[in-house]
């Protein structure tokens, strides 16, 4: 809902529990008024009428107060917009008009006379999430100089004045993604981002700030997340007077993103913001609801249980071996069988074949269709792995088009994992990939594509292109266009975003993929921390988790029970990734039971509300999902100390006046007791885990009445 003040210069956007307000001064400065609990328009107008701070010679009264600080004029804070053209740098805008777009979008249009530049700031409430972005249009007459966009951030968020802000972020590296860390904010800037061409394993593009010691279930939390899958930057800036602003957008520096010739436009990705007063858990649930309702395709459909043989077979694959695995996977109850790397070209190791997207004739003499047909006959869907943005030097594609890779003339072409990055900003590369992938998806009944990206940009050159910097954003737009086009042409095909595990997870990729590969780390204990971080922003509905072999030879040789491995993976979209030909009959039978159990709890896990009951800090760890009358609790005990029984886990999100039956123990529990005193997990020893399925079966009042009736009779 958008409300406008009487003079047409104050705007108030409201969601179910929160409001966002801004004000245009009579000098056309756009000031931030409010972001927090729901307020009335009269409250916003009272904020707008507050006296302006006194002018001081060494500070700007605008700094820390503007909605979108541009470069130029009396501003010393980080600018969100920096342009140059015709020898003039910066922006000096006048307000043009405001407009309402689709779905309650507020658009504020400004114009800079010197550059002929129109700047549109866009705001849209989706639930309590505010989506913001900016659009630049060069309206100068034809023949005028091009405008260079040195930096265009999506938004600047302004927090209320508080003491002692704390910053939460999700940091990591390969095989150790999305680990939550909290630290005190202090004066100056904290900058996170990626200069790698993809979102990166090092940081998820998300930050959260709390000032008054928010806990998991209580307190105010401000959080922001960027919908972009290339290089990016988020700066959290505490100004000299204590004001805090968060500025974020695509690109990692201010040295040039794109050229805008007259008559052209560019739009930033969305930078979404959420205020919540339900603690970190409440904020996560709001982010999850937002993504399920507005970001993830078909999010109300549950994802199938998949099998992927990568950890079992690596590059050494054959049709016969995949058929054998498919038979075993189907017997477990798996619903989607995915052939990973090494089915194409000369791909018998990571040294060759990337770029040649036709089946390896030695390995799949009849192409992929016979295997796909067999997988379908076994009652499963069929998926394949691709890594379209990359090429091996040892490939037909590279031999034919060595200029199609990112490179600087005369310089080394750096290889990581023996591969080079295709320059997707080139239209000829885009056409080639479209033709190859469209043909591939037409050649066999493929239902699922795991789309990988296994190295960072290191030589972002584009010989012959006058403005090679546009390669960075151009690559991401081309990737998005390609996936969007493939989805439109092959509507039955689902997509997974993978980048050596969790290197490309963000709201941008989630708008066009059905799930993500969370991490190459499938160790079930390490996964608890990775999943804990992931859940801060993204829902279980997209978080793929595989059960692999024990000992975990890929990573750490840790030995864990099938139970522990399964319960760890039940927390997301379940997959199996072990070498099933080496699992014993007992193990296969046990696994079949877990898959069956998962299918039963899957709607609650994938579509329910998540409560993090205990953090993975070394002791008992537990999460809970609630959907309607059903609740599922997953609990893990890494190691028991002193023979002590872990304390009961207090549940959340239940009806205190309800009675809940537990399928595992056969016991009935009163909601109020579970909420206040908790559930005993009975876990003991090392690496123990359990699942509890609870269903609300009655009102506690009815039971109490029946009981007192019995007692009286
Ligand atoms: C990296 C992925 O994360 C793995 O799951 C697997 O698909 C390999 N790439 C294949 O090369």
Distance 387 CA to ligand 1 centre (A): 9
Tokens 């004066």 belong to which residue?
A: 187
Helices (H), 378-426: 396-400
Catalytic residue among 153, 210, 447, 452: 452
Q: Is 615 a catalytic residue?
A: no
User: What pLDDT does 56 receive?
Assistant: 86
Tokens of 353: 């074949």
**pLDDT tens readout for residues 18-69:** 999 999 999 999 999 999 999 999 999 999 999 888 888 899 999 999 999 9
Radius of gyration (C-alpha) of the chain in whole angstroms: 27
User: What pLDDT does 713 receive?
Assistant: 47
CA distances from 141 to 92, 115, 117, 137 (A): 19, 10, 11, 12
Phi, psi angle pair for 625, to nearest 5°: -125, 140
CATH superfamily for 70-294 is: alpha-galactosidase from lactobacil brevis (2.70.98.60)
Q: 621-712: what CATH class?
A: mainly beta
Nearest CA to 541 out of 307, 285, 302 is that of 302
Distance CA 69, CA 49 (A): 21
User: What pLDDT does 554 receive?
Assistant: 86
**Residue 103, by phi and psi: left (phi above 0), alpha (psi -120 to 50) or beta?**
left
Does the pTM of the predicted model rise above 0.75?
A: yes
Counting from 1 in the atom list of ligand 1, the atom nearest the Cα of 340 is 7
**Cross-strand pairs, 238:** 188, 244
With the most atoms of ligand 1 within 8 angstroms of its CB, the residue from 309, 517, 518, 522 to mutate is 517
Please check whether residue 362 is in contact with residue 346, taking contact to mean a CB–CB distance below 8 angstroms: no
User: What pLDDT does 55 receive?
Assistant: 82
Sorted by sequence, the CB contacts under 8 Å of residue 149 that are 6+ apart come out as: 82, 83, 136, 256, 257, 258, 259, 260, 266
Distance CA 639, CA 636 (A): 9
With the most atoms of ligand 1 within 8 angstroms of its CB, the residue from 500, 516, 545 to mutate is 500
With the most atoms of ligand 1 within 8 angstroms of its CB, the residue from 498, 544, 577 to mutate is 498
Nearest CA to 338 out of 593, 575, 606 is that of 575
Tokens of 438: 């469209």
pLDDT along the chain (713 residues), means of 10: 95 98 97 98 96 87 96 95 95 97 95 97 98 98 94 98 96 98 97 98 98 95 98 97 96 94 98 98 98 98 97 97 98 98 98 98 97 98 98 98 97 97 98 98 97 98 96 98 98 98 98 98 98 98 98 93 98 98 98 98 98 95 98 97 94 98 97 98 97 95 66 50
Output the residue whose Cα is nearest ligand 1's atom 1. 500
**b vs e for 251-285, b when ≥16 Cβ sit within 10 Å of the residue's Cβ?**
bbeeebbbbbebeeebebbbbbbbbbebbbbbbbb
Distance 500 CA to ligand 1 centre (A): 5
Catalytic residue among 112, 153, 210, 520: 520
Helix or strand holding residue 450 (H, E):
strand 448-451
Q: 306-607: what CATH class?
A: alpha beta
Q: Is 520 a catalytic residue?
A: yes
Distance 692 CA to ligand 1 centre (A): 33
Output the residue whose Cα is nearest ligand 1's atom 3. 500
Counting from 1 in the atom list of ligand 1, the atom nearest the Cα of 499 is 3
What is the 3-state secondary structure of 509-575?
HHCCCCEEECCCCCCCCHHHHHHHHHHHHCCHHHEEEEECCCCCCCCCCCCCCHHHHHHHHCCCEEE
Count of residues in the chain: 713
User: What pLDDT does 706 receive?
Assistant: 64
Phi, psi angle pair for 200, to nearest 5°: 100, 150
| Ligand 1, CB cutoff 6 Å, lining residues | 310, 340-341, 385, 452, 454, 498, 500-501, 517, 520
Please check whether residue 166 is in contact with residue 210, taking contact to mean a CB–CB distance below 8 angstroms: yes
Other beta carbons less than 10 A from residue 618's beta carbon: 10
DSSP state letter for 211:
S
- Strands (DSSP E) contained in 113-255 are 117-126, 129-138, 147-152, 155-158, 166-171, 179-184, 188-194, 203-210, 221-226, 232-238, 244-250
Distance CA 64, CA 68 (A): 10
Other beta carbons less than 10 A from residue 82's beta carbon: 22
Nearest CA to 109 out of 121, 125, 92, 91 is that of 121
Going by their DSSP bridges, the two strands 221-226 and 381-386 should be labelled as unpaired
CA distances from 123 to 97, 133, 269, 358 (A): 14, 7, 12, 45
Helix or strand holding residue 306 (H, E):
strand 306-308
Distance 575 CA to ligand 1 centre (A): 14
Tokens of 471: 């390669």
Distance CA 101, CA 673 (A): 49
Nearest CA to 199 out of 701, 619, 537, 706 is that of 537
Distance CA 387, CA 378 (A): 27
Other beta carbons less than 10 A from residue 60's beta carbon: 17
For the chain, give every domain's residue range: 70-294, 306-607, 621-712
């Amino acid at each position: 809902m958008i409300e406008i003040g009487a003079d047409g210069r104050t705007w108030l956007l409201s969601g179910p529990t929160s409001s966002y307000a801004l004000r245009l001064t009579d000098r056309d400065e756009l000031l931030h008024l409010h972001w927090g609990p729901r307020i009335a328009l009269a409250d916003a107008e009272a904020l707008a009428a507050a006296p302006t701070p006194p002018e001081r010679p060494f500070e700007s009264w605008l700094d820390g107060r503007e909605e979108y600080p541009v470069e130029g004029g009396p501003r010393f804070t980080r600018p969100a917009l920096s342009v140059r053209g015709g020898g003039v740098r910066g922006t000096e805008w006048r307000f043009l008009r405001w407009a309402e777009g689709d779905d309650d979008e507020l658009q504020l249009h400004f114009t800079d006379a010197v550059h002929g530049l129109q700047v549109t700031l866009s705001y849209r409430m989706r639930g309590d999430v505010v989506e913001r972005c900016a659009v630049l249009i060069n309206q100068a007459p034809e023949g005028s100089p091009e405008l260079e966009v040195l930096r265009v951030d999506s938004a600047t968020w302004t927090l209320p004045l508080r003491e002692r802000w704390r910053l939460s972020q999700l940091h990591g590296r390969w095989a150790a993604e999305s680990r939550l860390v909290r630290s005190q904010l202090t004066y100056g800037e904290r900058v996170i981002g990626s200069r790698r061409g993809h979102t990166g394993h090092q940081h998820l593009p998300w930050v959260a700030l709390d000032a008054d010691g928010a806990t998991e279930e209580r307190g105010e939390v401000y959080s922001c997340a960027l919908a972009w899958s290339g290089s990016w930057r988020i700066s959290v800036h505490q100004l000299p007077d204590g004001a805090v602003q968060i500025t974020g957008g695509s690109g990692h520096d201010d040295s040039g993103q794109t050229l805008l010739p007259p008559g052209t436009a560019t739009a930033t990705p969305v930078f979404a913001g959420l205020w919540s007063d339900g603690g970190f858990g409440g904020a996560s649930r709001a982010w999850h609801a937002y993504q399920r309702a507005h970001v993830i395709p078909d999010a109300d459909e549950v994802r199938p249980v998949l099998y992927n043989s990568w950890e079992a077979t690596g590059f050494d694959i054959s049709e016969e071996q995949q058929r054998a695995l498919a038979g075993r996977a189907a017997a477990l109850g798996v619903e989607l069988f995915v052939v990973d790397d090494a089915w194409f070209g000369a791909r018998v190791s990571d040294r060759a074949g990337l770029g040649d997207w036709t089946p390896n004739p030695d390995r799949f003499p009849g192409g992929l269709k016979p295997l796909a047909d067999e997988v379908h006959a076994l009652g499963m869907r069929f998926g394949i792995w691709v890594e379209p943005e990359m090429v091996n030097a040892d490939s037909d594609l590279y031999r034919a088009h060595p200029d199609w890779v990112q490179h600087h003339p005369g310089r080394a072409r750096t290889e990581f994992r023996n591969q080079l990055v295709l320059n997707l900003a080139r239209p000829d590369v885009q056409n080639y990939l479209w033709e190859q992938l469209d043909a591939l998806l037409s050649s066999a009944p493929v239902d699922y594509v795991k789309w990988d990206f296994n190295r960072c940009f290191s030589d972002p050159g584009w010989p012959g292109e006058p403005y090679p910097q546009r390669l960075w954003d151009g690559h991401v737009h081309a990737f998005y266009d390609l996936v969007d086009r493939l989805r439109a042409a092959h509507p039955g095909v689902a997509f997974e975003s993978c980048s050596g595990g969790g290197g490309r997870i963000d709201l941008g990729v989630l708008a066009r993929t059905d799930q993500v590969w969370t991490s190459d780390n499938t160790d079930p204990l390490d996964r608890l921390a990775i999943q804990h971080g992931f859940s801060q922003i993204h829902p279980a509905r997209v978080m793929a988790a595989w059960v692999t072999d024990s000992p975990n030879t890929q990573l750490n040789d840790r030995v864990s029970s099938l139970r522990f491995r399964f319960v760890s993976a039940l927390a997301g979209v379940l997959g199996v990734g072990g070498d099933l030909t080496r699992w014993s009959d007992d193990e296969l039978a046990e696994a079949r039971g877990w898959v069956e159990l998962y299918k039963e709890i899957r709607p609650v896990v994938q579509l329910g509300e998540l409560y993090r009951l205990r953090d993975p800090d070394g002791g008992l760890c537990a999460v809970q999902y609630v959907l309607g009358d059903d609740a599922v609790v997953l609990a893990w005990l890494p190691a028991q100390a002193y023979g002590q029984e872990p304390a009961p886990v207090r549940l959340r999100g239940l009806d205190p006046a309800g009675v809940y039956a537990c399928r595992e123990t056969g016991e009935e529990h009163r909601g109020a007791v579970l909420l206040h005193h908790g559930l005993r997990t009975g876990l003991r020893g090392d690496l123990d885990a359990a699942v509890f399925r609870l269903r609300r079966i009655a009102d506690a009042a009815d039971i109490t009445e029946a009981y007192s009736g019995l007692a009286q009779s």
